[in-house]
Amino acid sequence: MASSVENIVIIGTGCAGLTAAVYTARANLAPLVLEGAMPGGQLTTTSEVENFPGFPEGVDGFQLMDNLRKQAAKFGTRFEQARVESVDFSARPFKLRTGERELLAKTVIIATGASPRLTGVPGEKELYGGKGVTTCATCDGAFYRNMDVAVIGGGDSACEEALFLTRFARRIYLVHRRDSLRASKIMAGRTTTHPKIQMVWDSVPVEVQGVAAGAVSGLKVRNVKTGVEQVLPVKGVFMAIGHVPNTQPFAQALDVDENGYFRPAAGSQVKTKVPGVYVAGDCADHVYRQAVTAAGMGCQAAIEAERWLAGHGG
Ligand SMILES: Cc1cc2nc3c(=O)[nH]c(=O)nc-3n(C[C@H](O)[C@H](O)[C@H](O)COP(=O)(O)OP(=O)(O)OC[C@H]3O[C@@H](n4cnc5c(N)ncnc54)[C@H](O)[C@@H]3O)c2cc1C
């Protein structure tokens, strides 16, 4: 059943979606926010955030997102537990289909994030986020000063993560399933010659150890050619095998790049080819993927949506 027409529907409650909610709610637009399967987004999976501006002592990721949600609610944001399954942006008002109903909206901000790929080995899920398994060296590298860590992957991102970690960690094992890196030549060269980085070729992770103690104590890996297993004595495991942008329900209606990330319209970070539909945060940003950059894009999208509504009698 179709509902009345919303001024603005925001899809996602990570840093981007909730920041867009604060701005549009304060502009008296009474935004409706759809939470999806992960209320609060990726940051709720980590315990300590030390690089979000304004928190000199750091802040718990879940707490930060809870604060942001309360801030959005205070100004009149409405929340609904729903996942968007498909959209029709070919005519106005725009149509959004969730499992339960069809929503109509004058403007839409899509802030659905990008999910980090994990390997699925035992121990990984249990020790993810604050317990030693992570997917972000920029976010968590500083917690591993003078410790040994492992990075899993073989592309440019894995090399970037490993090189970034050389600023903090004592030794970095780069575990890759082949005997050469997929990364660009220059990155591969810098990585393999760095004195702190030790390559673990032809190897795949088998188990992250330390579940009983609640903290990573080692990474068991297997050589795919010889079958020999060894335990790397690491305190941190950085998964660098890519992200999956959550853009699938919108991929027919908007432009996406070869990896599925939204491709914004020329000259803007947040506008799309459909006027009145905006994108924000990690779903449209494969470069920075940080809480503060996602929040910044949420702000931009909100201001663009406000302007569009003001110019079209909203
Ligand atoms: C373990 C970990 C630690 C991190 N630590 C830091 C850190 O210390 N500092 C930092 O700056 N960044 C950190 N990050 C990165 C940061 O979490 C992300 O950059 C940020 O969360 C991106 O925000 P976002 O709003 O774009 O997306 P997300 O946080 O991914 O939120 C996406 C939202 O969209 C919703 N959604 C998805 N699909 C649908 C759909 N079809 N319908 C409805 N809703 C949908 C989800 O439920 C979720 O609410 C970390 C990330 C991880 C994984």
CB burial of residue 190 (10 Å; 0-12, 13-18, 19+):
middle
Task: Count up the domains in the chain and report the number.
Answer: 2
Q: Are residues 86 and 177 in the same domain?
A: no
Which pLDDT score is estimated for 46? 83
Q: Are residues 47 and 194 in the same domain?
A: no
33 touches ligand 1 (CB under 6 Å): no
Q: Are residues 218 and 192 in the same domain?
A: yes
Which pLDDT score is estimated for 3? 67
CA distance 269 to 278: 9
Q: Are residues 109 and 140 in the same domain?
A: no
Which pLDDT score is estimated for 45? 84
**Catalytic residue flag (residue 282):** no
User: What's the mean pLDDT in 4-32?
Assistant: 98
Q: Are residues 294 and 197 in the same domain?
A: no
Which of 60, 66, 136, 156 is the catalytic position? 136
Domain boundary among 216, 239, 262: 239
Q: Are residues 26 and 171 in the same domain?
A: no
294 touches ligand 1 (CB under 6 Å): yes
- Assess contact for 165 and 238: CB atoms under 8 A: yes
Which pLDDT score is estimated for 314? 66
Q: Are residues 49 and 190 in the same domain?
A: no
SS3 content of the chain, % helix, strand, coil (to 5): 25, 30, 45
Domain range enclosing 294: 2-115+243-311
User: What's the mean pLDDT in 96-120?
Assistant: 96
Domain boundary among 215, 239, 263: 239
Domain boundary among 217, 239, 261: 239
49 touches ligand 1 (CB under 6 Å): yes
**Catalytic residue flag (residue 136):** yes
Q: Are residues 223 and 257 in the same domain?
A: no
Ligand 1 centroid to Cα of residue 115, in Å, is 7
Q: Are residues 67 and 89 in the same domain?
A: yes
Segments in the chain forming alpha helices (H): 15-26, 61-74, 137-140, 156-165, 185-193, 291-311
Instruction: Output the CA angle 176-178-181, nearest 5 degrees.
Output: 70
**Catalytic residue flag (residue 140):** yes
User: What's the mean pLDDT in 296-312?
Assistant: 97
Q: Are residues 75 and 128 in the same domain?
A: no
Q: What predicted TM-score, i.e. pTM, was given to this entire model?
A: 0.90
Closest ligand 1 atom to residue 128 Cα is 1
Which pLDDT score is estimated for 118? 95
CA distance 226 to 222: 8
User: What's the mean pLDDT in 226-237?
Assistant: 98
Q: In this structure, is the dihedral angle defined by the CA atoms of residues 131, 132, 138 and 142, taken in order, positive or negative?
A: positive
For residue 21, what is the domain's CATH number?
3.50.50.60
